[in-house]
Amino acid sequence: MTSRKHEGFKVEKRKADIVFAEDSPWHGVEAEVITSIPFKTLLWFQKNAEDASAENTHEAIRVFADQFLVSWNVIDDDGKPYPASAEGVEQVPDYDLVTSLLTGWIEAVTNPPMKSSAQSNGSGSLAEESMELLASASTSLGG
């Protein structure tokens, strides 16, 4: 048996740009988000999606904004950008924009682009089920 030494593998954070379609009321909003999330966070979003109370939705938005929102182009009435943080997101005067952005992020997390065929070779049934549950969370969190 041949032994091969492997260097450590560093998992790089994936990012995505969220842009809204021309027919969306949010057309023109752009955001860069981190789409690599720890499994613990995935489970947290799944658990809290079942209870779409105001408190859970607020916490989901805070987690998203503080941990996964890298940048965005949303400005206030004076032309000053809202910070890409929970504090900034909480200042935006339209709840629908914030929940639409959260939904867009969840879609980006659950539907990452495939970079190689090697990613689709495993069975991944548990991961696929987890992603389906997170995808269904977008309806609860957005509504």
pLDDT band at 143 (very low <50, low <70, confident <90, very high): very low
In a domain? residue 68: yes
In a domain? residue 6: no
DSSP string, 37-91: --HHHHHHHHHHHTS--HHHHHHHHHHHHHHTEEEE--B-TTSPBPPSSHHHHHH
In a domain? residue 23: yes
Say how far apart CA 12 and CA 127 lie, in whole Å. Answer: 19
Residues listed for the chain: 143
Percent of the chain with pLDDT over 70: 76
pLDDT tens string 108-122: 888 777 654 444 334
pTM of the entire predicted model: 0.71
The set of residues, in sequence order, having a beta carbon less than 8 Å from that of 115 and lying 6+ positions away, is none
pLDDT score for 44: 85
In this structure, what are the phi and psi dihedrals at residue 72, rounded to the nearest 5 degrees? -160, 170
In a domain? residue 46: yes
In a domain? residue 95: yes
Q: Is the CB of residue 139 less than 8 Å from the CB of residue 69?
A: no
pLDDT score for 4: 67
In a domain? residue 117: no
Please report where in the chains the tokens 């740009």 appear, as a residue: 17
What's the domain count of the chain? 1
In a domain? residue 19: yes
In a domain? residue 9: no
Give the structural domain span for 63.
15-109+126-142
